[in-house]
Structure 1
Amino acid sequence: MVSNRVQVIVQSSKFHRVALFVFAALLYSKSMSHDFILSWDDHVYVIYNIYIRAITTDNIYAILSTPFIGNYLPLHILSYMFDYALWGLNPSGYHVINVFLHAVGAVLVYDVVSRISGGRFIALFVAAVFVAHPINVEAVSWISQRKTLLSAVFFFGSLLAYFRWRRDSKKLWYGLALLFSVLSVFSKTSTVILPVIFIGYEILIVREKPIKWIAFLPFVIVSLAGTGGTVLSGIRGTAIADNTFTSEYLFSLVYPTMIPVYGKYFLLLIAPVNLSAFYDTTIYRSFYNPVILLSLSTYLYLSVMIIRFGGNEFRFWVLWSVVCFLPSANIIPIQIYYADRFMYLSMIGFYACIAIAARDVIRWSTKKLNMNVNTTITFVVSIMILVALVGLTYERIDVWRNELSLWSDTAQKSPDIYNVRMNYGTALKRAKRYKAALKQYENAAKLRSTPEVIWEIRTLREIVDDSLRTK
């Protein structure tokens, strides 16, 4: 009797939500003692940001009207204003909020997946992987990626409100879906793809005709406004280079280079080892390179197989994975070829596809081959996957402990990137390890000789020489 009651509780949605939240909080608990990454965006968004120092109408207006680092993401910056009001410049508080948002996001992922795919096991597995996958460490452990977490929470909220509106047609839910979409886009513009997810849901999951196309119009307007604001602020700032939209830059550099990168993301999701804050990227300048042709052929083959053999549910999650990745796919170049944080939403669709494929294979083997796959085996395999991911994530969280640990790790994995050497040198200089800092700046100068690095080398040589003379 008691065991049956426990089983009912363990299998309930409420228990799953609580378990996911606690799982996320425990896994990332040690990141709450981490420092700011002063040499990478945290100094602009938080440390030296005068607009977050007090909750005033002037500061709020400034945040709503000012792009930061070439990005117009006002809600992201406003969140730091409330952080500062609570704990000043104590980084622990900022990390607590990031972990909280990731935990809330995991619960919402569970609700979204269960609403679309029905089965609680699939939803629980996907949400647990969302919590535990090391590719998400960058988004959670880096304070400046609050925008990724915040926008995701609003993104999931908009989806759930939309699903509720489709069920009972109450205008309140439609209004909430639209409100959450606005909040999401102005936290981080990568969620401008939300209307495409809605349309895919209607076509592939709901499949009711006629589709009320007019219902998507307000969401499309929000997405266009967010995209336009980001592009304009990026052009005025540093996020989008002057030569970004020339055919030579796009078709003889960015697009050929990105083709194999899409496959690398696929590998990182399956085998998330050697993750890095920056990745050395092989540059390609022609679509006729054998690597590019092989990559394109592989993508074409997979597309044909999905269209021909995939069910509508599977196709929807493929659509989700691809569409959520598009804003970071360098269609509009963003000067970063690939980064872990770009997969925060996309990986949900990828692992939903894996879970659905596994479910369908089990059903097929049971029906066609009379092979009864025990649920215990499925459970054990899932736990083994999660344990492996947790181990990798726990190790990866340590890398983000402070700027020295981050850039030391990144310089080992991606030694030929100028910004990595510069940031590592800056971190070492801040720690008063001048000889080591000088070496990093000299390495940076070998990659790219800029006035900034030349000045740093001269300054540090004087400091090192003075210390030697003093001795």
Structure 2
Amino acid sequence: MAVHIANGLLVFVILKQFITNRWAVLVGVLFFLLHPIQVEAVAWVSEFRGLLAFFFSLISLYFYLKNQTKFLFLSLAFFVLAVLSKLSAVSLALFVLVINYFHYGFKLGKNIEKTLPYALIALMTVLIAYEVQSNYDLNTAQYNIAVWQRPFAWLDSIVFYFYKIIYPYHLSASYTLSPKFISAQWWFYPAALLPLGLGYWLWLRRKSQPLIVLAAALFVAGFFTTSGFVGFGFQRYSLVTDRYLYLAMIGVALFVATMLAKTDKKYWHGLVISVLIAFTTLSAFRQVPIWQTEGTLWSHAVNYEIAPNYAHESLGVYFDKKANALSAAGEYKQALAYFDKAIKLYPEYKIENLSTTIYNKGISFFATEKIPTSVREF
């Protein structure tokens, strides 16, 4: 939580580079901090590396926005720390590219020159990570889609995240929207028309509404590297997940701040504050309690999986661990009940987990002297 708050302070300082109205910037930052979709990145202990990566990314961006050569090495040093913390921090290179074009108005040559150091660091990191993750076999037909389909997957992910930001009620730790699954749906190609149309509309207004266009570009750049254009490990489960949107929420914060700075009408301010209060309440009373234990988390997530996948697997592992603990304590009857729950939950592709659980169930039957049943399980 402390790192998340620190990131909010950094977002405030960064947005002040674009908007002078402190009240508007503060409200934008509160959207970044309190939106329910941020709960996963903050509450999930193993995602601390992501928070740390974006902490370093924001410091790097802060120094870059000073637009002075003496701060460049500091910016690059923090960018290195960011990508070492988590690979998805390479998105900062896209942030630099976007800001150079939409904010500073650099021509292509100048933009490439300014972005190149960040791009080289990002490229080296990606190449190293690809070698390390080669065991995932990311390019197999089982998990991936054709190259020409990937832009549609990216556009569909924009639609998904846009919907979740506006209506963040049915959030989950697992959506099972893998590239293979979504490419087989009737809406896969039509849904792409929405962001294309919106993008064209924004492009026509890039001169009259530069900050709105910049906000949209930062939003898209924030999750571009995990949007389906290139393979990544988690796509076997889902192309979209809440934590991928953490850095992209800077774009949302900038949009909110820009809209507030443009108007003095009190009813707009009241509406924004009302939405913010609703989001805060939703985070505190719905999202945060879901992340209290593995049991509450995955029991909630299985309700949102279209087909048994990551959440079913994780809840099965949770029940299996609980069953083994009960079995070790001599509570065999309760252990058998949890073994049965785990067996029912495991997806078919987790045959190794299923085999181990059935074996452990057999041991529990053996301990209760139900030898024939134990033999059947073995």
TM bracket, shorter-chain basis: 0.7 to 0.9
Q: 2:101, 2:111 within 8 Å by CA — same for their partners in 1?
A: no
Which of these residues, 277, 285, 294, is aligned with residue 387 of structure 1?
Answer: 277
In structure 1, distance between residues paired with 2:185 and 2:16? 43
Deviation, structure 1 residue 170: 5.0
Which of these residues, 238, 241, 253, is aligned with residue 138 of structure 2?
Answer: 241
Q: Render the CA deviation track for 1:96-124: whole Å, top value 9, x for unaligned.
A: xxx11111001001111111233223321
Give the aligned partner of residue 332 of structure 1.
Answer: 230
> What secondary structure, in the 3-state scheme, does the structure 2 residue paired with 1:269 have?
helix
Unaligned residue ranges in structure 1 (runs of 5+): 1-98, 363-371
Q: 1:445, 1:454 within 8 Å by CA — same for their partners in 2?
A: no
What fraction of aligned residue pairs are identical, expressed as a percent?
Answer: 20
Q: 1:192, 1:223 within 8 Å by CA — same for their partners in 2?
A: yes
Q: Render the CA deviation track for 1:14-44: whole Å, top value 9, x for unaligned.
A: xxxxxxxxxxxxxxxxxxxxxxxxxxxxxxx
1:257-406 to structure 2, matched below 5 A, reads 259-281=155-177, 290-310=186-206, 311-334=209-232, 335=235, 336-357=238-259, 359-360=261-262, 362=263, 373-374=265-266, 377-394=267-284, 395-406=286-297
Identify which range, 209-218 or 134-143, moves more after superposition. Answer: 209-218
Q: 2:28, 2:255 within 8 Å by CA — same for their partners in 1?
A: no
Q: Render the CA deviation track for 1:381-406: whole Å, top value 9, x for unaligned.
A: 23212211111111211111121221
TM-score between the two structures when normalised by the length of structure 2: 0.83
In structure 2, distance between residues paired with 1:188 and 1:346? 15
Which of these residues, 181, 185, 201, is aligned with residue 79 of structure 2?
Answer: 181
In structure 2, distance between residues paired with 1:183 and 1:161? 14
TM-score between the two structures when normalised by the length of structure 1: 0.67
Deviation, structure 1 residue 323: 1.0
Q: 1:114, 1:122 within 8 Å by CA — same for their partners in 2?
A: no
Unaligned residue ranges in structure 2 (runs of 5+): 327-333, 372-378
Give the aligned partner of residue 122 of structure 2.
Answer: 223
Give yes or no for the alignment of 1:118 onto 2:20. yes
In structure 2, distance between residues paired with 1:270 and 1:120? 24
Aligned-residue CA RMSD (Å): 3.0
> What secondary structure, in the 3-state scheme, does the structure 2 residue paired with 1:202 have?
helix
In structure 2, distance between residues paired with 1:194 and 1:305? 25
Q: Output the amino acid matched with 1:386.
A: L
Deviation, structure 1 residue 439: 3.3
Q: 1:252, 1:285 within 8 Å by CA — same for their partners in 2?
A: no
How many equivalent residue pairs?
353
Give the aligned partner of residue 330 of structure 2.
Answer: none
In structure 2, distance between residues paired with 1:252 and 1:214? 30
> What secondary structure, in the 3-state scheme, does the structure 2 residue paired with 1:338 have?
coil
Using a 3 Å threshold, how does the CA distance of structure 1 residues 403 and 224 change in structure 2: closer, same or farther?
same
> What secondary structure, in the 3-state scheme, does the structure 1 residue paired with 2:17 have?
helix
In structure 1, distance between residues paired with 2:105 and 2:150? 38
In structure 2, distance between residues paired with 1:306 and 1:243? 36
In structure 2, distance between residues paired with 1:289 and 1:426? 30
Using a 3 Å threshold, how does the CA distance of structure 1 residues 407 and 289 change in structure 2: closer, same or farther?
closer
Q: 2:5, 2:33 within 8 Å by CA — same for their partners in 1?
A: yes
Deviation, structure 1 residue 289: 6.1
Q: Output the amino acid matched with 2:296.
A: S
Deviation, structure 1 residue 286: 9.0
Using a 3 Å threshold, how does the CA distance of structure 1 residues 252 and 453 change in structure 2: closer, same or farther?
farther
